[in-house]
Amino acid sequence: MYNRRLAGALVAALAFCGLVSPASAEALDTILGAGTIKIAVPQDFPPFGTVGPDLQPRGYDIDVARLIGDKLGVKVEIVPVTSANRIPYLQTNRVDLVISSLGRNAEREKVIDFSEAYAPFFNGVFGPADAAVNGPDDLAGKTVGVTRGAVEDLELTKIAPASATIRRYEDNNGTISAFLSGQVELVATGNVVAAAILERNPPKRPESKFLIKNSPCYVGLNKNEPKLLARVNAILAEAKSSGALNAIAKKWLGADLPKDL
């Protein structure tokens, strides 16, 4: 009885999975043909992507998305995503590009392609002023909150001592709430993210403890899209030399782009 039910469920599950058969055409042609590019952006990651009281996305990543759309001469459809679903959005062709402060690693490069870097991202460990933490070794025995899958999660996992507890939250809302409510003593996040929180005068102040590293952000796109990749890289290169990207950096990060980006 139960075995038959289980078998039935398995068949149904496989049928469900069998629906999966992706469409394929050169993405750049599809975008230009439709006159619209769909770009995934963060909505809980100030100043890269956040929402105003009107719940509309705004931030560094959104400005870069609009810049790329302008240069392609197409309309931009902004699609707010979380760190958990941004890549599935891309893989299911729900978006054409992911501009969501994406970090790269070897495992990820097997699955999607990355553009040239478009933003600096200095991530570090932050905590209350009285926490005596000056480097990775001081994390021993401490609890650090981080957003699962974010650049700083990948870096922190590499450098944290074994006795440190890393708590990984679904999204930045969760990470920040966990810090502010005292559920974790420290957080690993971007310096600009911490600065944006400080600016809003929170009940607990995330002061900088130490910098993990500068790991820049990249635009993510599907594999085997050489034309789209080349165009995006060309647009980013031009934006860097024309100063357009620097203007975005000054607006949202309050600083010039680093020379080596």
Between residue 17 and residue 56, which ones bind other proteins under the rule CB under 8 A?
17-24, 43-44, 46, 50-53, 55
CA–CA separation, 189 vs 156, rounded Å?
10
CA–CA separation, 147 vs 171, rounded Å?
5
Query: Which of these segments, 113-121, 143-151, 205-213, 233-241, binds other proteins (CB under 8 A)?
Result: 143-151
CA–CA separation, 231 vs 219, rounded Å?
12
Binder of other proteins out of 121, 169, 218, 252 (CB under 8 A): 169
Helix, strand or coil, per DSSP, at residue 180: helix
- Name the minimum Å distance from CB 60 to other proteins: 14
Query: Which of these segments, 124-132, 141-149, 240-248, 250-258, binds other proteins (CB under 8 A)?
Result: 141-149
* Contacts of 8 by beta carbon, 8 Å cutoff, 6+ apart: none
Residue 221 engages other proteins in binding (rule: CB under 8 A): no
Residue 80 engages other proteins in binding (rule: CB under 8 A): yes
Residue 89 engages other proteins in binding (rule: CB under 8 A): yes
Residue 148 engages other proteins in binding (rule: CB under 8 A): yes
Residue 167 engages other proteins in binding (rule: CB under 8 A): yes
Alpha helices in 131-208 (DSSP H): 151-159, 172-180, 191-199
Residue 162 engages other proteins in binding (rule: CB under 8 A): no
Residue 191 engages other proteins in binding (rule: CB under 8 A): no
- Name the minimum Å distance from CB 91 to other proteins: 6
Burial track 47-80 (b if 16+ CB lie within 10 A, e otherwise): bbbbeeeeeebbbbbbbbbbbbbebbebebebbb
